[in-house]
Amino acid sequence: MDRYCVFGNPIAHSKSPLIHAEFASLTQQQLSYDKQLVAEDQFPQAVAEFRRQGGQGANVTLPFKQQAFELCDGLTDRARLSGAVNTLYWQGDQLWGDNTDGEGLVRDLLRNGVELKGCRILLIGAGGAVRGVIPSLFEQQPQSIVVANRTQAKAETLAQHFAELGDISSCAMDEIDGAFDLIINGTSASLSSTALPVNADVIQRAKCCYDMAYGSEPTVFQQQAKQLGVSKSLDGLGMLIQQAAVSFERWRGVTPDPQPVYDLIKRQL
């Protein structure tokens, strides 16, 4: 039986084994998928040992996405641009890396009726989560992307890195102004129940607000958006499942239906 896993630290909370087990069942694929806790200085050794034991592919979560990027022999374009890898697979003896986060986000947005072509997008945050989705967002031909962060220098670094892809600029969090069709929160603010320090008039003009975080209840950012009358607010559970589906396609060559898995996890939250 083909073996897959997710590497991380911590890893006990990961829903990846459940998601991929359901995908396998839905597509009649025979495989096993486990989670592996890895010491922060043992990631290359863990990948090598997994391969030696017959591993076919793996997901990578915090804090190893950068290490995975550096470990790979080959990279997809979006992984190269984002500077991080969340999906590993072997081609012969070569280890290849992909980043499926952006495509997962895009699929979830499109599935929920969010039009991205010609869209004005505000990305809040300048960490790995935001960096990983910018290439896939630009593939959808938005009008523009603005990256806002508490430390503008980090946002400016991202804007410069992705300048070749399209119209992208940066600003400090307290300087956000203008009208945006889509606002995406890529910070961890909702995980600590902290409201985003964004002007109310900026949020209320948006057509959709999207939080990469998720939970059993609407996130703080979703609640902000709803209180300000935004017609559509979404959390990141769909992105989690959709990015896993892209990894599954990469490994198995079949496309799983994410909806039954979304319904299952939603019931469990």
The residue behind tokens 């039954």 is: 260
Active site residue 35: no
The residue behind tokens 């010609």 is: 118
Q: Is 150 annotated as a binding residue?
A: yes
Q: Is 238 annotated as a binding residue?
A: no
Give the torsion sign (CA, 245, 185, 156, 163): positive
Q: Is 117 annotated as a binding residue?
A: no
Q: Is 252 annotated as a binding residue?
A: no
Q: Is 92 annotated as a binding residue?
A: no
Indicate which residue of 35, 65, 207, 266 is catalytic: 65
Give the amino acid at 88: L
Q: Is 253 annotated as a binding residue?
A: no
Q: Is 212 annotated as a binding residue?
A: yes
Query: Whole-angstrom Cα distance, residue 23 to residue 186?
Result: 26
Q: Is 225 annotated as a binding residue?
A: no
Query: Whole-angstrom Cα distance, residue 209 to residue 201?
Result: 13
User: Would you give the distance in Å from CA 192 to the centre of its chain?
Assistant: 19
- Are the beta carbons of 115 and 137 closer than 8 angstroms? no
Record the tokens describing residue 258, joined without a space. Answer: 């994410």
Q: Is 34 annotated as a binding residue?
A: no
Known binding-site residues for shikimate equal: 14-16, 61, 86, 101, 214, 243
Known binding-site residues equal: 14-16, 61, 77, 86, 101, 125-129, 149-154, 212, 214, 236, 243
List residues with catalytic annotation: 65
Known binding-site residues for NADP(+) equal: 77, 125-129, 149-154, 212, 236
